[in-house]
Every structure is written in C-alpha cells, then in structure tokens.
Amino acid sequence: MLSYSSSILIALAALLVTCHALCKCPGIAGPPGIPGGDGLKGLPGSLAAKHHSVLANLKHRLFRLEAALALNGKIRKVGEKILASNGKKVDFVSALKSCEEAGGTLAAPKNEEENKAIMDIVKQYNQYAYLGIRKGEASGQFRYINGMPLNYINWHQHEPNSKGKEKCVEMYTDGTWNDKKCDRNRLTICKF
C-alpha cells in the first residue's frame, strides 16, 4: 500500500516527464528522487527518472545539432521555425514539391523577423527565391500555400504589378517581394 505522500511524489514525477516530453520546461533539471516507487498511479519512479534522462539527453543533443547547423549556415532558426535551402534553383512547383518531400513547405514570411531570416538565405546564395505564396484561382488574391490570406506583406515599390500571368512571388536580395511567373528558376527555401 502506498502512502499518501508517495502517491503525490509519483504523480509529480509523471507530470514532470509529461512536461519535458512536451518540451515546455526551461532547462533540464532532474525530477525529484522517488524512493522505491513502483506506482499504482503514473510511472514507477525508476522509469520516470530513466525517461527524464533520455529526454534531457535528446534535448541537449538537439540543441547542439541546431547550433552546429546554424553555425555552418545550413539552417536558420526563427521563433519555432527552422529555415533551410537545398541551394537549388527550380520552378515554383518543383521547389514546393522538394520542400514537401523533405517534410516541410516553401518558406513564406509571416512577419518582419521571418522576412529577414529568409532574406539572409537569399543574400547568402545571392539568388532570388520563390516564397510559399501564390495567387488563388478563385480569389485572385495572393495567399499562403494553405489558402490562408496573407497577414504580412513586403512588396517592392510598384509591386505586385501582375504583368501578364505573375501568379508566384519571388524575394529580391533586399528582402522585398515581386510577383513573378511561376516557371522561372528560383532558389528553394523550405520551412520546417
């Protein structure tokens, strides 16, 4: 039979593990020691401690991996998002496809900070990039790939000018946008 206080401790440990699994906890402090807990509720203390150390180790490795990739200019972290380019210049559909096949989508800036992060990659490769934005068939409005309306824009002066059929959007090296035909070869920048 478990005492009231050990039940509380076990419940606390289970909560801590859940919290760490969801990565909402700052730092990687360990759970409280749970002597001899082989709980009826939640995880046994030894299992909770093991899970915690596995998660803490993964978190630490992930942190170092992201730092190393960012240092080498392989990725850019912006908020919770990760931006990366394969360095390839292809048409819009091919660019979107390669991002989706990699488990992401074409990057589209939702605010100034994200626009700057994408611009840094455009500058790094010195190549204009397609953004994950296109003109909707029905609406005739520029929207994100998922169909949602834009909540941030950074058009170059006099753009969009919709010359002919410019249904895609490219980013210039100064971070401003131009509506552009979708069949040009532009740098692929994905968001994960």
Nearer to ligand MAN, 31 or 154 (CB): 154
Tokens of 77: 């972290």
The SS3 of residue 158 is coil
Q: Under the criterion CB under 6 A, does residue 159 sit at the interface with ligand MAN?
A: yes
Nearer to Ca ion, 110 or 156 (CB): 156
CB of 170 to Ca ion, least distance (A): 9
Q: Under the criterion CB under 6 A, does residue 163 sit at the interface with ligand MAN?
A: yes
CB 178 within 8 A of CB 169: yes
- Least Cα distance to 146 among 133, 155, 157 occurs for 133
- Alpha helices by DSSP H, listed for 72-111, are 92-101
Token look-up 């609406």 returns 139
CB of 150 to ligand MAN, least distance (A): 18
Beta bridge partners of 169: 179
Nearer to Ca ion, 6 or 173 (CB): 173
Residue nearest to ligand MAN (CB): 161
CA torsion, points 35, 38, 41, 45, in degrees to nearest 10? Answer: 50
Q: Map the footprint of Ca ion across residues 167-186, applying CB under 5 A.
A: 178-179
CB of 164 to ligand MAN, least distance (A): 9
Among 135, 180, 186, 191, binds ligand MAN (CB under 6 A): 180
Beta bridge partners of 149: 143
Q: Contact residues for ligand MAN (CB under 6 A)?
A: 159, 161, 163, 166, 178-180
